[in-house]
Structure 1
Amino acid sequence: MRINLTSVFVDDQEKALRFYTDVLGFAKKHDVPLGGEDRWLTVVSPEEPDGTELLLEPNKHPAVKPYTTALVEDGIPATAFTVDDVRAEFDRLSKLGVRFTQEPVEMGPVTTAVLDDTCGNLIQIMQSA
């Protein structure tokens, strides 16, 4: 058994696609219209184009907004991405205007930082020691 797909709820799929590709550096994998404004929209790491896909899922279900709002208010990331160097990514993304809610912090065997994806989520980046 393998993880093939995971998702984050986003308030605007087009804005999310721009942030996740142009800023974070992911590559668009699938973009399939689902009727209306919604799309089956996934991104992948360019380092693993056949790896786990991240679905940029519309946040239209009534349970989503209270859930994501509570996570953000409590400072809890919706998901985490591994990077080679958290401090270098923090510097790169900060220069691109990304807002961080947590600067790089060493936590035992990992270093983490938390950013705002501009689409309703906090995202943790992490590096193993």
Structure 2
Amino acid sequence: MKIYVTSVPVNDQRKALDFYRDKLGFVVKHDIDMGGGNRWLTLTSPDNPEGTELLLEPSGHPATKPFKDALVADGIPYTSFMVDDMAAEVERLKGLGVRFTVEPMDAGTVRMAVFDDTCGNLIQIVQMK
């Protein structure tokens, strides 16, 4: 068994697509109209286009907003992505206007940082030491 799709709930799929594609650098794998203004919108890493897909899931379920709000209030990232060079990635993202809530720091076996995805989530990036 392996992970096929994982998701991140987003307030606005169009805005999320702009952020995850244009700032984070993921590439669109599927963009299928599901009706009602929702899409099956998945992205993958350009380094692994056949790998795990990230679904930009519309956060319309009533439980989603309080859950996401509580995570953000407590500073807890919704998910985590791996990078090869933390310093270079943070510099690149800041140059694109990404706002970090936790600057790069050592955390056990990784260096980590946290940023706001502009769609209601905090996202963590890690670099293995």
Question: TM-score per shorter chain, which class?
Answer: over 0.9
User: TM-score w.r.t. structure 1 length?
Assistant: 0.99
* 1:74 equivalent in structure 2: 74
Q: Report SS of the residue matched to 1:68.
A: helix
Q: Percent identity?
A: 63
* 1:96 equivalent in structure 2: 96
Residues in 2 aligned to 1:108 and 1:32: alpha-carbon distance in whole angstroms: 40
> How do residues 99-118 of structure 1 correspond to structure 2 at under 5 angstroms?
99-118=99-118
Residues in 2 aligned to 1:73 and 1:125: alpha-carbon distance in whole angstroms: 19
Q: C-alpha root-mean-square deviation of aligned residues, in Å? A: 0.5
Report how many residues are paired: 129
Deviations 1:3-51 (A, max 9, x none): 1110000000000001000000000000011112000000100000000
* 2:126 equivalent in structure 1: 126
User: TM-score w.r.t. structure 2 length?
Assistant: 0.99
| Gaps in structure 2 of 5+ consecutive residues | none
Q: Runs (4+) of structure 1 moved beyond 3 Å?
A: none
> How do residues 1-129 of structure 1 correspond to structure 2 at under 5 angstroms?
1-129=1-129
Residues in 2 aligned to 1:100 and 1:37: alpha-carbon distance in whole angstroms: 30
